[in-house]
Amino acid sequence: MAIPPKLQPILYGVGVFVVFTTLVIVMKLVTHRISVDAEYFGLFTKKDLLLGAAVAIILTFSHERKKKLKQ
The domain ranges of the chain are: 8-65
What residues does 40 pair with on adjacent strands? 44
Q: Are 25 and 17 in contact (CB under 8 A)?
A: no
Which pLDDT does position 43 carry in this prediction?
A: 77
Length reported for the chain = 71
Residue 36 CA to residue 30 CA, distance in Å, equals 16
Chain segment 16-34, per-residue pLDDT in tens: 999 999 998 888 888 887 7
Alpha-carbon span 51 to 45, nearest angstrom: 10
Q: Can you list the residues of the chain whose pLDDT is less than 70?
A: none
